Amino acid sequence: MGFQTADRLLERAGGRWEPAPVGDGLAAKVEVAGRKVWLAQPHTYMNESGRMAAALARYYKIQPEAVLVVSDDIDLPLGRLRIRLKGSSGGQRGLDSVLSHLGTTEVPRLRLGVGPRPAGMDAAGFVLSRFRAEEAPLVSAMVARAADAAEACISRGVEPAMNDFNKAES
């Protein structure tokens, strides 16, 4: 979900992915909401995505509180967004890796609901499975709203974006 959101932001900004100057993945410097930002897509296993995030943050001298991690969340219903300023990973391994490599839990994050996970289904298997055809419109709308939420975090700040996008109808 994070990749889809980054792709949507990149498309809106008219940018293109390039090999990242550090770490294993792609990066793009684009203008979002009137500000220059870096978008990144790590090409490691999800549970190692923090290596690239931390490498880019060090390389560009970006403080952890200026990083916005975008990820899926099996504990949120499909289509729901949740923005937080800081906190634990909630068991999301990609976010856990980012927090670990940045050395702090004070990293803003935007989570996209993909749940609920069917009873008895392995979490990894669930998040790697495809959405059902009837879920596609909801997923597409959620990714568009997530890109809007990321833009709001950049333009107005994380807390105002939380007020707008953490509502149940989002």
Q: What is the per-residue pLDDT across 23-80, written as a single tens digit (0 to 9) for each?
A: 999 999 999 989 999 999 999 988 999 999 999 999 999 999 999 999 999 999 999 9
pLDDT single digits (tens) 92-132: 999 999 999 999 999 999 999 999 877 888 877 777 788 99
Q: What is the mean pLDDT of residues 163-168?
A: 89
What pLDDT was estimated at residue 168? 66
Domain count, the chain: 1
Q: Domain for residue 56, yes or no? A: yes
CATH number at residue 93: 3.40.50.1470
Alpha-carbon distance of 58 to 67, in angstroms, equals: 11
Q: Domain for residue 170, yes or no? A: no
What pLDDT was estimated at residue 46? 86
- CA angle (160 as vertex; 158, 164 as ends), nearest 5: 110
Question: What are the φ and ψ backbone dihedral angles of 7, each rounded to 5 degrees?
Answer: -60, -40
Q: Domain for residue 48, yes or no? A: yes
Residue 17, pLDDT above cutoff 90: yes
Provide the mean pLDDT of the chain.
94
Q: Domain for residue 158, yes or no? A: yes
Residue 170, pLDDT above cutoff 60: no
Which among 165, 41, 92 has a CA at the least distance from the CA of 100?
Answer: 92
Residue 152, pLDDT above cutoff 50: yes
Alpha-carbon distance of 76 to 94, in angstroms, equals: 16
What residue numbers bound the domain in which 61 lies?
Answer: 2-165
What pLDDT was estimated at residue 169? 58
Q: Domain for residue 138, yes or no? A: yes
Q: Domain for residue 58, yes or no? A: yes
Q: Domain for residue 24, yes or no? A: yes
Q: Domain for residue 35, yes or no? A: yes
What pLDDT was estimated at residue 146? 98
